[in-house]
Amino acid sequence: MTWNVNSFRTMRGYSPWTECKDYKELLDALGADIFCFQEMKVTWDKLDAEIALVPGYDAFFSISRGRGGYSGVATYIRLDRVPTPIDAEEGFTGLLSRPGAQSKLGCYGDLEEEFERDELVQLDSEGRCMITDHEAFVLFNVYFPNDHDAEREEFKLKFYRGIEIRVRALVDSGRQVIVAGDVNAVHMPIDHYNPNCGSFIGPIESHPARAWLNGFLQPRGPVVDLFRYFHPDSQGVYTCWNTKVDGRSGNFGTRIDYILPTPALIPWFEDCTIEASIRGSDHCPVVAVLRDSIETEEGEKKLLDILSPTTYDLKGNLVVREPSKLCARFYDKFLAKQQTLKAFLVNKGPNALAEMEAKPPKGLTAMETMSGGLKGISGTKMSRPLSGGTSAPPAKKAKTAPVPGQKSLLSFFRGAKEESSNTSGSPSQSGVPSGERNPVKLVSNSIRPPNPSSAPPAPMVASLQLEQDGSRSRMRESGEGNSQSSDYSFVDAESIPDMTDLADADECGTELSPQEFGASQAAAWGAIFTRPKPPQCRHGEEAKLYSVTKKGPNQGRQFWMCPRPGPTGMAKELAVNKNERDTFKCDYFMWYRDSARRKMERRINSR
């Protein structure tokens, strides 16, 4: 199976892969024996055991060395069905070999004659190729570049040429080869949703990517388009769709993912299918089905026999195949070979570590040192040092008896007359004992400001603290420079004016209840933050909101377009009749802010 997954880590965020608890369940559900994934989009530092060490699988990675979270390919081998490869190589130039993991494949052809060494390093630095040797064939898992501009087009054509040189060299040496991956090229008009587009106008030689692919395939090249071998006339079968225009729902796609074996391997294949129903990426998988055995002139041949032939050493002992050292299970990060902090400290001197472990950290008791508390950390500076090795909980502040005459916080919000009548500190007029009064009401809406004629209170910094004691609440004020800062006063719920007494009447002379006032406030704020209703496209349907992701002056801006699938102007490009045009996306377009402004103008004009 080959599949451009467009970020392997995010696959489990799509249905049905959300039901998989780990990547083993995901790979098992896909059901293939060998997986060739492209656009893994992982970095070396973020490559963890969850992805690299999937139980029951051997994994081989090629990751971009310059740009993080970009490109990258991975080959997974299911060990209970397929023997692990006898060799592996990252890249196709042979320049990325690691110490102890050099490939024995060889056969590099004229790569060094056609390219400078710096060019070859650059071609292999984006993590686009992983080669595995399966004895019966050599598998190329390749993510070919795309061409966004002239510079990338030149890079793409060099990459094409480099892969072709390596494949032809292996074939000339007698090896069988399978190239699988995202080729980023459409071979024939039948492989494109719009055969009338500019890519198919004129001879095939006028389009470099198509011309290369045509020369790489049989009869001129060394490999066969396996899908077209089994399905030469199938139409509307694609492997990639433009998600920005919802191309998958209308099947506006292209076939740019291929499995390309050498002709001698064709008898081993039973079929090649395109699994368009499998979601999780803007591409879908391409699957090649191999036979378990075939009949030849020499008799029956079994696939497992040629994938893992039995070999013996000079003493007649069976040789057990060991995977290549390029396999992920041999990465240093998974073999615990990384240097630790302890190793760095040992290098400083022969007695550094002994002195560090013998010296207990400051602020710890002997008992804590023996129990292993912060063992091995010397000179650790603690943000809150312990005294005597113990720490007592903070003491709770004792409650203070109320002092008559202290002003309450509510007194600052009342008129002068009301203030003078409530500062005597006498019990409330209700006659209810202080221990049985209701909790204090805190009124926050429409409180009447103090009378301008009253004297302003002395400057102070006040803090409000509520202490629940039975069925009463205390309001405490503390301030600097205020002689009454240590006094207390209790305020009954009955002594606070009702909301209707404090709120002013509206212009019509009607008063709003607290519930009505809150509802009106919520409605007002909701109207401000609610997005405008989507405008209608030329089909009379609600338009769909998109965002500009391309770098430029409009990056980040939003716009409305027709919700129907397919690129804009599809009906005109395909030259369909008038009755069929309504099924395609119309040319409606409007910037998001423009639509909001027009609605506001219409609302103002209608008044």
DSSP state of 531: P
Buried b (16+ CB within 10 A) or exposed e, 264-274: ebeebbeebeb
Which are the contacts of 248, defined by CB distance < 8 A and separation ≥ 6?
241, 282, 565
Distance CA 356, CA 597 (A): 70
The neighbouring-strand residues paired with 258 are 181
191 labelled ligand-binding: no
182 labelled ligand-binding: yes
Q: Which of 182, 191, 257, 492 is catalytic?
A: 182
* Triad 291, 176, 1: Cα angle to 5°: 50
Which are the contacts of 71, defined by CB distance < 8 A and separation ≥ 6?
39, 40, 41, 64, 126, 127, 128, 143
DSSP state of 289: E
582 labelled ligand-binding: no
CB 115 within 8 A of CB 69: no
357 labelled ligand-binding: no
| 22 is an active site residue | no
Query: Rounded to the nearest 5°, which phi and psi values hold at 257?
Result: -105, 130
| 143 is an active site residue | yes
Q: Which of 192, 225, 283, 492 is catalytic?
A: 283
DSSP state of 284: -
504 labelled ligand-binding: no
Which residue type, as a one-letter code, is found at position 576? Answer: V
* Triad 24, 25, 29: Cα angle to 5°: 120
CB 242 within 8 A of CB 249: no
Burial class from Cβ neighbours inside 10 Å (0-12, 13-18, 19+) for residue 410 reads buried
Q: Which of 108, 143, 258, 592 is catalytic?
A: 143
CA 487 to chain centre: 58
| 283 is an active site residue | yes
Region of residue 575 (left: phi > 0; alpha: psi -120 to 50; beta: else): left
283 labelled ligand-binding: yes
Residues belonging to the binding site for Mg(2+) are 4, 39, 182, 184, 282-283
Residues belonging to the binding site are 4, 39, 182, 184, 282-283
- List active site positions: 143, 182, 283
